[in-house]
């Protein structure tokens, strides 16, 4: 009735050799949000999100074995590999500023352990 719902979208399998390898990738139309925004053109609100590794049975993989250092989800400009701090401060190119349109943010090393 209120338009609420959830979306599950999986990518992978992603296979790693370990030993501190580093991955970064961009994703067009994550969670198919373009469809939701057509239905709700005034915007949508996130009240909960999860982005992380799961096994084939959708069980969350902890840390270790997988460490998620950062997950940033934005509407644009996509993957940003470096931040041009000087250009951001002087205002010459707003694309050099640090993700002002961040939608979802998750930083690693957070895990509740069973007692």
Terminal Cα-to-Cα distance of the chain (whole angstroms): 39
pLDDT class of 15 with cuts at 50, 70, 90: confident
- Is the pLDDT reported for residue 25 higher than 70? yes
Domain count for the chain: 1
Full-model pTM: 0.58
Contacts of 63 (CB under 8 A, 6+ apart): 108, 109, 111
User: pLDDT digits over 71-84, tens only?
Assistant: 777 666 555 555 55
Question: How far is the C-alpha of 60 from the C-alpha of 53, rounded, in Å?
Answer: 6
DSSP H/E element including 33: helix 33-39
The boundaries of the domain holding residue 109 are: 1-115
User: pLDDT digits over 94-106, tens only?
Assistant: 665 655 566 677 7
């Amino acid at each position: 009735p209120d338009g609420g719902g959830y979306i599950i979208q999986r990518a992978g399998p992603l296979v790693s050799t370990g030993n501190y390898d580093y991955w970064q990738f961009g994703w067009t139309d994550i969670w198919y949000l373009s469809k939701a925004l057509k239905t709700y053109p005034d915007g949508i609100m996130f009240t909960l999100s999860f982005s992380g590794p799961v096994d084939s049975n959708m069980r969350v993989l902890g840390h270790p074995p997988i460490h998620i250092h950062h997950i940033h989800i934005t509407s644009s400009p996509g993957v940003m590999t470096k931040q041009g701090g000087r250009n951001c401060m002087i205002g010459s190119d707003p694309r050099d500023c640090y993700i002002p349109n961040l939608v979802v943010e998750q930083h690693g090393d957070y895990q509740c352990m069973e007692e």
